[in-house]
Amino acid sequence: MSTDLPQAHAASVPDVFDPTCSSRHALELIAGKWQMLIISALEEGPMRNAALMRRLGDVSQKMLTQTLKELERNGLVMREDKKTVPPHVEYSLSPVGRSLSETLLVLDRWAETHFGTLDAARERYDAERAK
């Protein structure tokens, strides 16, 4: 489905390195501090606001709401308000969101696997500049 949007006219091939390409925007959408974690968390199943806060550990209510709203806006996250009293809102991944979460889980595992190497490199780097 080739949308004839007013992109660059030679943008027949999507390229994240093209600043005018929407794919760049898509990448920046998940490039924040909480986006990847939220999506990874929701991969475990639908979650409520409080559950997400607990899962992420140190996210503020404001940032959680704000990021969720932006993810919902771009169709990655679905929000279901059960309209009960007290409120009950459930967040879950959309199909597109799920297609993304698979890759992000790989990223998570990369971080959990290699963080030691990074820590060591950082210490070495800092030590060399301290003297």
Binding site for a copy of itself (CB under 8 A): 1, 3, 5, 14-19, 21-33, 35-37, 40-41, 44, 55-58, 72-76, 96, 99-100, 103-104, 106-108, 110-122, 124-126
Q: Give the residues across from 92 on adjacent strands.
A: 78
Q: HEC profile for 48-80?
A: EHHHHHHHHCCCCHHHHHHHHHHHHHCCCEEEE
Q: Tell me: does residue 37 bind DNA (CB under 7 A).
A: no
Q: Tell me: does residue 89 bind DNA (CB under 7 A).
A: yes
Cα 112 to the center of its chain, rounded Å: 17
Q: Which is nearer to a copy of itself, 57 or 85 (CB)?
A: 57
Applying CB under 7 A, among 69, 109, 114, 124 the residue interacting with DNA is 69
Long-range Cβ contacts of 51-58 (<8 Å, 24+ apart): 52/91
Q: Output the six-digit token pair for 67.
A: 């990021």
Q: Give the residues across from 91 on adjacent strands.
A: 47, 79
Q: Which does 88 bind (CB under 5 to 8 A by kind): DNA, a copy of itself, none?
A: DNA
Residues touching DNA, count (CB under 7 A) = 23
- Which residues are at the interface with DNA (CB under 7 A)? 32-34, 48-50, 58-63, 65-69, 79, 81, 86-89
